[in-house]
Amino acid sequence: MMAEKNIIQLIKNFDLQKLSSVNLIYGKEKLLKKQFVEKVKSVKGQDVHVLWGDEISLEEVEEIFSSSSLFSPGNIAVLWDFEGFIKNLKKDEIEKFINLLRKISGQDKIILISEKDKLPVKEPFKAIKEIGDIIVSTPLTPKAFILSMKKKIEGNGKNIDDKTLLYLSSKLKNDLMYTKQEVEKLLLYVADKEEITREDIDAVIIPKVEENIFVFLNKLFSKDPESVKIFINLIETTHHPFEIQSLILNQLNKLLIFKSMQEEGKPAEAIFSQLGIKHPAQKGTFQKLSVNLKKEQIINMLKELYNLEIQQKVYYRDIYETSTEFVINVVEN
């Protein structure tokens, strides 16, 4: 097994021909993963298949590499949400997938993108470490993060002093994907100014909060209009709509079970234990939502969510547009 490769260096000195046939990218920094994939897609004469893990089957991946590419020297597949893909595989299919990876060679390449911060030792991760290259996409150091923001701001003809830059950095939590959007908003806001001030930052920047997705879910089920704004921010920066829809589905199912068991007279703590809910704040949220939401409302939201996915996956309606419509509908009804 070779040493892990740094995604930043691969992006800076990108050469598709030097990439291994099998590549697994993991780590927190999503923007670097996206930039890497864009580099792959930008190579002229290449036919790149971009796949989403929970939507693609093993047979479909096998089919990509079983035939010759029509438009390029080899087949290249980028598989986002690798965990979503392997979650749907049975034990024998995991073995088939590993055997497929062993056969990929020549101009054919596969790029597997994981959301994990640390790779498991189980299969297929164990085999992939032996078969191909492991690429790590970790956040920049605090110093490098601040320098990247300064370069972006000054590159757009604006000035910012070190103290104000540090204040801006504290709002963005070293998240490049989130920072890209927020800094672009800030630059538009100060279009007619030369110097960026703390007041400008406070007027435009939405602080990066790690719990944003959970804040969104709580506000959505409470029918808080602010949930729409948070949702749009999430899908434009850190989360794919399918990821959020999956979380909504999971939360609704748990809420439905919680209410049903409560109606049967089962104690709340026993239900929490069965659902795997341990954190006191999460328990409090469930109890509050259980009071505020009727069982019929939860069932209706589940039906609407299933209908949403039919519209997206069967009738190919725009994912971002339809998911936003769903959130607005939940809040307004």
Strand order from edge to edge, sheet including 47-52: 5-6, 133-136, 22-26, 109-113, 75-80, 47-52
Domain 142-204 has CATH 1.10.1070.20: no
Q: State the average pLDDT over residues 283-298.
A: 85
Which pLDDT does position 212 carry in this prediction? 61
Q: What are the boundaries of each domain within the chain?
A: 5-136, 142-204, 212-332
What integer pLDDT is reported at residue 71 of this predicted model? 61
- pLDDT at residue 233 in the model: 78
CB–CB of 37/111 below 8 Å?
yes
In percent, the amount of the chain with pLDDT more than 70 equals: 96
Please give the mean pLDDT across all residues of the chain. Answer: 89
Once rounded to an integer, what is the mean pLDDT over residues 109-124?
91
pLDDT at 236 over 80: no
pLDDT at position 45 over 70: yes
Q: What is the pTM of this model?
A: 0.58
Where is average pLDDT lowest: 44-53, 126-135, 200-209? 200-209
Per-residue pLDDT at 69: 60
Residues 6+ apart with CB under 8 A from 260: 295
The domain made up of 5-136 is a member of CATH 3.30.70.1290: no
pLDDT, greater one: 170 or 36: 36
Strands 47-52, 5-6: parallel, antiparallel or unpaired by DSSP? unpaired
β-pair partners for 22: 110
Percent of the chain exceeding pLDDT 90 equals: 53
- Cβ pair 327, 234 in contact under 8 A: no
**CATH class of domain segment(s) 212-332:** mainly alpha
Model confidence at 41: pLDDT above 70:
yes
Q: Residue 209: what pLDDT? A: 56
Q: Report whether pLDDT(282) > 80.
A: no
